Amino acid sequence: MQIHTKAVHSGDRRKPPSQVPVTTPIHTASSYYCESMQQLDRIFGREEQGYCYARYDNPTTSALEELVASLENGAGALATASGMSALQMAVAAALTDRPRSIVAAAALYGATVSMLMNVLEPSGVAVRFVDVCDLDALRTAVAESRPGCILIETISNPLLRVGQIDAIAAIAREAGAALIVDNTFATPLIVRPLELGADFSVHSLTKFLAGHGDVLGGAVVANAEHLDTLRRLSRTLGPVLGPFESYLTMRGIKTFPLRMERQCANACRLAAWLGSHPKVERVYFPADPAHPDSAAIRRLFAPNLYGAIVSFEVKDAGREDIFRFMNRLGMIVPATSLGDVHSMMLYPVMSSHRDISPKHRERMGIRESLVRLSVGIEAPEDIVADLDRAL
């Protein structure tokens, strides 16, 4: 089936003992009754498929996991309470029986950098940052660090760099390391990292997949080699997503491909318009022929889909200038998220990369003049008009 069809049908109409509801219901029970202790024993031992305790499994969440795994063509998935908890679970699963060492992309979401530096490093995990778009530099870092895993983003946040996932996967495989790819910005409509050799594909479900600003959640999709480890860790640590959030996410995913196609098309128009605006210093967008990773983008991305995030620098703007600009927005929502049906703007220095030191941000290329626009499904003319007024 094509991804559009999977988004509508996968996970639904799983067969309970009687009639099958056409959409997945919300199962709120924390524990489950069996006809016999023998059956309960088999379910606890994972010898028989079924449910015993909601920290282990839940019918609504299981349906969502089946759906997300289907979109990514993975062996299975784990739905979690947030995107960051999903990323932490992926790292924990990757480093099981591997060296406690990570080579990470130099360009990452601020909370991911904080997790690596402020949580994992103090607990004894060695972390090294490298430009993963420079394969020679990556090979050197991997040879010197001998990592248990490599961590990258499909499209980096917020400067939208794109590494060669298949080539990075080959480097990881040769070193015996697992490759974790945060695929939130690209979504499985544009790139499916497991098909390119990654071991884990991670999502903030909050963003494009759920897509309506009413869910906080995450998901890890794993290959067959790592799925059992991921599920076993989840049964112990319990980072589970609740059934209400699972239901809302499934409902959102049914329209995800349609929304994402519209958002990508809108983003292309917005990026072209911003590139000609006299108040805009620079635009970052994967469709730009001058993008430093254009060859990888053309090779790895689905045709004519470049994502729905456009970052740009306002000419000669400092922090207060950006505040005034964003305060003048009328329709575009200044908010600390992305991927909703409505357009949203974020100031990375203040929010997504707030906890990164100014010197580290400067090395990452994140300046005070930079804003990140998550393009929605509105009429593109209205988005342009709002930006034009505010600029």
> Same domain for 212 and 267?
no
| Per-position DSSP letters for 325-375, written without gaps between them | HHHT-SSSEE-S---SSS-EEE-TTTTTTTTS-HHHHHHHT--TTEEEEE-
When pLDDT is averaged across residues 44-49 and rounded to a whole number, the result is 89
Q: Taking 80 as the threshold, does the pLDDT of residue 18 lie above it?
A: no
> Same domain for 126 and 86?
yes
347 belongs to the catalytic site: no
Q: Taking 60 as the threshold, does the pLDDT of residue 306 lie above it?
A: yes
> Same domain for 307 and 280?
yes
> Same domain for 249 and 279?
no
User: Is residue 219 a contact partner of residue 194, using CB atoms and an 8 Å limit?
Assistant: no
How far is residue 239 CA from its own chain's centroid?
17
Q: Taking 80 as the threshold, does the pLDDT of residue 353 lie above it?
A: no
Options 161, 192, 207, 231, the catalytic residue? 207
Give the Cα separation of 241 and 355 in Å (integer): 26
> Same domain for 131 and 279?
no
Full strand arrangement of the beta sheet holding 149-153: 76-80, 218-222, 200-204, 178-182, 149-153, 101-105, 126-130
Confidence band for 19, pLDDT divided at 50, 70 and 90: low
Give the Cα separation of 225 and 380 in Å (integer): 44
When pLDDT is averaged across residues 68-92 and rounded to a whole number, the result is 98
Question: Domain tally for the chain?
Answer: 2
To which H or E segment does residue 76 belong? Answer: strand 76-80
Q: How many residues does the chain have?
A: 391
Q: Which residues contact 238 (CB under 8 A, 6 or more apart)?
A: 55
> Same domain for 230 and 274?
no
pTM of the predicted structure, to 2 decimals: 0.93
When pLDDT is averaged across residues 35-39 and rounded to a whole number, the result is 90
Q: Taking 80 as the threshold, does the pLDDT of residue 79 lie above it?
A: yes
> Same domain for 271 and 179?
no
Residue-wise pLDDT for 233-290, tens only, equals 999 999 999 999 999 999 999 999 999 999 999 999 999 999 999 999 999 999 999 9
> Same domain for 359 and 231?
no
Count CB atoms within 10 A of the CB of residue 269.
15
Options 42, 55, 139, 254, the catalytic residue? 55
Q: Which residues contact 283 (CB under 8 A, 6 or more apart)?
A: 271, 274, 275, 310, 311, 312
Q: 315: buried, middle or exposed (CB in 10 Å: 19+, 13-18, 0-12)? A: middle
When pLDDT is averaged across residues 364-368 and rounded to a whole number, the result is 85
> Same domain for 261 and 242?
no
Q: Which residues contact 61 (CB under 8 A, 6 or more apart)?
A: 79, 240, 241, 242, 243, 246
55 belongs to the catalytic site: yes
Looking up residue 159, the CATH number of its domain turns out to be 3.40.640.10
Options 6, 57, 109, 259, the catalytic residue? 109
Give the Cα separation of 206 and 116 in Å (integer): 21
Q: 174: buried, middle or exposed (CB in 10 Å: 19+, 13-18, 0-12)? A: exposed
**Coil, helix or strand for 282?**
strand
CA distances from 348 to 186, 358, 367 (A): 19, 12, 9
33 belongs to the catalytic site: no
> Same domain for 60 and 198?
yes
**Coil, helix or strand for 219?**
strand
> Same domain for 190 and 121?
yes
> Same domain for 167 and 226?
yes
Confidence band for 331, pLDDT divided at 50, 70 and 90: very high
Between residues 361 and 203, the one the model is more confident about? 203
Could you say which of 190, 219, 253 is where a domain stops? Answer: 253
Confidence band for 23, pLDDT divided at 50, 70 and 90: confident
Q: Taking 90 as the threshold, does the pLDDT of residue 88 lie above it?
A: yes
Share of the chain above pLDDT 70, in %: 97
109 belongs to the catalytic site: yes
Rounded to the nearest integer, the mean pLDDT of the chain is: 94
Q: Taking 90 as the threshold, does the pLDDT of residue 99 lie above it?
A: yes
Looking up residue 262, the CATH number of its domain turns out to be 3.90.1150.10
Could you say which of 234, 253, 272 is where a domain stops? Answer: 253
Options 56, 57, 161, 182, the catalytic residue? 182
Domain encompassing residue 290: 256-390
